[in-house]
């Protein structure tokens, strides 16, 4: 078999692998690039979509599924094989993604028309998304499924989000077995079942999101979260939690539920779930009662839900959401998780400048996002084109991560009895390198592929490692710009109050000339 790496090389987004040999070709995942690699979404596929009979989808996150509508639009007519849970989550995720894109393009086109520029089109629409669903074939965990007379696959629980799977692929012709880890969850997992440990493989394509990092312990993480909530309520303002709709929101609801059960969260504190996508995802989470640890299942047996609280209000319409502008002393969970869009932006606009506000980040903030700017300590940020001061207390709590940390990844990797060859993907290069180091020390062969590399799998294929670590200059530049922006606004306040002198005007003029000359370059 041969694998061509069409995403998630040196980054965590855009997962897409073409697996091919003379008698079959198929994709594992067809994900969206996010953040700095977004421009790659529109590139032509280096294969003919109509000639691909299968996509094996590991889970519903957009960085694994988000280019499926584009694939179908460009001619794919095959089957999309995934778990039943992922099939359901996929529907709401893709429809939401199309909706977000359509709204974004509308906004951009309004500006372009005013500037006399031609309108642009989204890379796919809701209509394109609808064409994906009839192609989906759900296959449960642990069942073998033949792709042709030589190749069969099997999903194993990856413990990452509901329905997430690792994929075992047997090639009986070449007598070899490839395993794709998919995204792996923590070991042990607090809510979902633990990732399944697999014994046999010749080659393992493995994620390394946190290949070099350890999460804080559950006890520490819960203490951080409890303290942020308890102190936030004491301060009297709102507590904002930007949250990813699938998995993180349900986890946060469960953690709030525990705080309520222990009495740390008073019964009269209103909790608003202000994300239609997260509400729909929670409904799907409630359906698959057998997917959880026994102590979570117990809630369902008692006719309850671990993701529910007596004071939880589901906010549906945007009018209802706007009404929250006037509340205080509430907990508001809203998307998007990295503050790149969605209803959280309105809540930030109305609360971020108030010193009594608490803002709790519970997920990864990618470079170049508003969330990352705030986490990095920006004093002023732009929301809907308007400068807003950051006076809220900001907390970053990463321990509720849906991703395995370094030790979990090692536990999973070293369980294979057959000493497989590891191919590391889905991680920034420093993380891939760090994890490669651990594997090498234990005597494993490691390959670190680059974007669009094709690798013919052979037991004696040369190891490719290490790769140079790419420093991210863009994020550094954005951070500095945000600092300058904040400083200038503070200066604006000082000048408004105390007035300016001619010397200062001279300095400001020089800064202005410098900035415009950089722009021209
Ligand atoms: Zn994922
Ligand atoms: Zn991922």
Among all ligands shown, which has an atom nearest to the Cα of 161?
1
Find, among 181, 161, 160, 159, the residue nearest to 169 by Cα.
181
215-240 pLDDT, tens per residue? 999 999 999 999 999 999 999 999 99
Place of tokens 């893709």: 94
Residues with CB under 5 A from ligand 1 (ion): 61, 183
User: What is residue 381's three-state secondary structure?
Assistant: strand
Find, among 42, 222, 179, the residue nearest to 457 by Cα.
179
Cα of 59 vs centre of ligand 1, distance in Å, is 7
Cα of 62 vs centre of ligand 1, distance in Å, is 8
Residue 249 has pLDDT above 90, yes or no: yes
Tokens encoding 469: 């670590």
The pTM of the full predicted model, rounded to 2 decimals, is: 0.89
Cα of 507 vs centre of ligand 1, distance in Å, is 48
pLDDT of residue 485: 82
pLDDT > 90 in the chain, percent: 81
C-alpha to C-alpha distance for 385 and 308, rounded to whole angstroms: 36
**Residue 425 neighbours by CB under 8 Å, 6+ apart:** 5, 8, 9, 15, 17, 205, 206, 207, 208, 432, 449
Residue 521 has pLDDT above 80, yes or no: no
Among all ligands shown, which has an atom nearest to the Cα of 8?
2
Cα of 253 vs centre of ligand 1, distance in Å, is 19
Cα of 337 vs centre of ligand 1, distance in Å, is 13
Mean of all residue pLDDT scores within the chain: 94
Cα of 114 vs centre of ligand 2, distance in Å, is 38
Cα of 183 vs centre of ligand 1, distance in Å, is 5
**Residue 338 neighbours by CB under 8 Å, 6+ apart:** 242, 363, 364, 365, 366, 369, 370, 371, 372
Cα of 11 vs centre of ligand 2, distance in Å, is 10
Cα of 37 vs centre of ligand 2, distance in Å, is 14
pLDDT of residue 469: 53
- Higher per-residue confidence, 267 vs 475: 267
pLDDT of residue 366: 78
pLDDT of residue 502: 84
Rounded to an integer, the average pLDDT of 463-487 is 73
Among all ligands shown, which has an atom nearest to the Cα of 15?
2
pLDDT of residue 383: 94
pLDDT > 70 in the chain, percent: 98
Residue 470 has pLDDT above 90, yes or no: no
C-alpha to C-alpha distance for 272 and 240, rounded to whole angstroms: 10
pLDDT of residue 324: 96
Cα of 60 vs centre of ligand 1, distance in Å, is 7
Residue 143 has pLDDT above 90, yes or no: yes
* Cα 20 versus chain centre, distance: 28
- Taking the domain 2-213+401-456, which CATH number applies? 3.60.15.10
Where residue 473 falls among pLDDT bands split at 50, 70, 90? confident
Among all ligands shown, which has an atom nearest to the Cα of 63?
2
Cα of 166 vs centre of ligand 1, distance in Å, is 11
C-alpha to C-alpha distance for 455 and 160, rounded to whole angstroms: 27
C-alpha to C-alpha distance for 183 and 251, rounded to whole angstroms: 17
pLDDT of residue 176: 96
DSSP 234-250: HH-S-EEEE--TTTHHH
Q: Which fold has domain 218-396?
A: Rossmann fold (3.40.50)
pLDDT of residue 126: 96
Among all ligands shown, which has an atom nearest to the Cα of 244?
1
pLDDT of residue 493: 82
Rounded to an integer, the average pLDDT of 39-54 is 95
Among all ligands shown, which has an atom nearest to the Cα of 247?
1
Cα of 108 vs centre of ligand 2, distance in Å, is 28
Backbone φ and ψ of 330, nearest 5°: -115, 160
Cα of 119 vs centre of ligand 1, distance in Å, is 33
Cα of 521 vs centre of ligand 1, distance in Å, is 38
pLDDT of residue 472: 66
- Higher per-residue confidence, 514 vs 307: 307
- Higher per-residue confidence, 503 vs 416: 416
Cα of 28 vs centre of ligand 2, distance in Å, is 12
Residue 65 has pLDDT above 90, yes or no: yes
168-208 pLDDT, tens per residue? 999 999 999 999 999 999 999 999 999 999 999 999 999 99
Among all ligands shown, which has an atom nearest to the Cα of 207?
2
User: What is residue 502's three-state secondary structure?
Assistant: helix
Domain boundaries, the chain: 2-213+401-456, 218-396, 479-520
Where residue 14 falls among pLDDT bands split at 50, 70, 90? very high
Cα of 243 vs centre of ligand 1, distance in Å, is 14
Backbone φ and ψ of 17, nearest 5°: -130, 130
Among all ligands shown, which has an atom nearest to the Cα of 93?
1
Cα of 160 vs centre of ligand 1, distance in Å, is 7
333-387 pLDDT, tens per residue? 999 999 988 999 999 999 999 999 999 999 988 777 899 999 999 999 999 989 9
Where residue 36 falls among pLDDT bands split at 50, 70, 90? confident
Cα of 48 vs centre of ligand 1, distance in Å, is 26
pLDDT of residue 1: 94
Residue 468 has pLDDT above 60, yes or no: no
> Is residue 351 within 8 Å of residue 343, measured between CB atoms?
no
Among all ligands shown, which has an atom nearest to the Cα of 60?
1
Where residue 467 falls among pLDDT bands split at 50, 70, 90? low
70-127 pLDDT, tens per residue? 999 999 999 999 999 999 999 999 999 999 889 889 988 998 999 999 999 999 999 9
385-402 pLDDT, tens per residue? 899 999 999 999 999 999
Where residue 466 falls among pLDDT bands split at 50, 70, 90? low
Backbone φ and ψ of 230, nearest 5°: -60, -45
Question: Do 218-396 and 2-213+401-456 have the same topology in CATH?
Answer: no
Rounded to an integer, the average pLDDT of 464-474 is 63
């Amino acid at each position: 078999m041969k694998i061509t790496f069409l995403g998630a090389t040196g980054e965590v987004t855009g997962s897409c692998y073409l697996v091919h040999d003379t008698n079959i070709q198929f994709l594992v995942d067809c994900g969206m690039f996010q953040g700095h690699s977004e421009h790659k979404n529109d590139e032509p596929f280096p294969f003919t979509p109509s000639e691909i009979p299968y996509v094996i989808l590991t889970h519903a996150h957009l960085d694994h599924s988000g280019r499926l509508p584009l694939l179908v639009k460009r001619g794919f007519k095959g089957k999309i094989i995934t778990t039943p849970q992922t099939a359901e989550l996929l529907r709401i995720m893709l429809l939401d993604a199309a909706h977000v894109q359509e709204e974004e393009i509308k906004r951009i086109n309004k500006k372009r028309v005013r500037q006399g520029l031609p309108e642009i089109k989204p890379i796919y629409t809701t209509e394109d998304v609808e064409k994906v669903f009839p192609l989906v074939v759900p296959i449960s965990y642990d069942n073998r499924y033949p792709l042709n007379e030589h190749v069969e696959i099997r999903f194993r629980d990856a413990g990452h989000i509901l329905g997430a799977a690792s994929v075992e692929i047997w090639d009986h012709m070449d007598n070899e077995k490839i395993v794709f880890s998919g995204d792996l969850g923590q070991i042990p997992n607090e809510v979902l079942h633990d990732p399944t440990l697999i014994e046999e493989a010749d080659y393992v394509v493995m994620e390394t999101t946190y290949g070099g990092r350890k999460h804080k312990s559950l006890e520490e993480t819960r203490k951080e979260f409890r303290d942020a909530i308890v102190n936030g309520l004491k301060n009297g303002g709102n507590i904002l939690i930007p949250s990813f709709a699938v998995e993180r929101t349900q986890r946060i609801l469960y953690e709030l539920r525990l705080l309520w059960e222990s009495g740390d969260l008073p019964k009269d504190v209103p909790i608003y779930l202000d994300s239609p996508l997260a509400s729909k995802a929670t409904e799907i989470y409630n359906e698959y009662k057998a997917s959880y640890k026994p102590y979570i299942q117990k809630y369902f047996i008692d006719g309850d839900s671990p993701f529910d609280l007596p004071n939880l209000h589901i906010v549906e319409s945007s009018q209802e959401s706007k009404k929250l502008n006037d509340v205080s002393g509430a907990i508001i969970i809203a998307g998007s998780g990295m503050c790149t869009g969605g209803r959280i932006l309105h809540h930030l606009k109305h609360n971020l400048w108030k010193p009594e506000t608490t803002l709790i980040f519970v997920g990864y903030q990618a470079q170049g996002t508003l969330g990352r700017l705030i986490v990095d300590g920006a004093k002023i940020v732009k929301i809907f084109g308007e400068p807003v001061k950051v006076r809220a207390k900001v907390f970053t709590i990463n321990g509720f991560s849906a991703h395995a940390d370094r030790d979990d990844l090692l536990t999973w990797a070293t369980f294979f009895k057959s000493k497989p060859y590891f191919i590391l993907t889905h991680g920034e290069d420093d993380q891939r390198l760090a994890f490669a180091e651990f594997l090498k020390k234990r005597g494993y062969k490691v390959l670190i592929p680059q974007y669009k590399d094709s690798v013919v799998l052979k037991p004696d294929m040369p190891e490719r490692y290490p790769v140079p670590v790419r420093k991210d200059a863009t994020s550094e530049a954005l951070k500095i710009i945000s600092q300058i922006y904040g400083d200038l606004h503070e200066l604006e306040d000082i000048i408004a109050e105390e007035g300016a002198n001619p010397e200062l005007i001279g300095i400001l003029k020089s800064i202005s000339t410098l900035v415009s000359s950089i722009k021209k370059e």
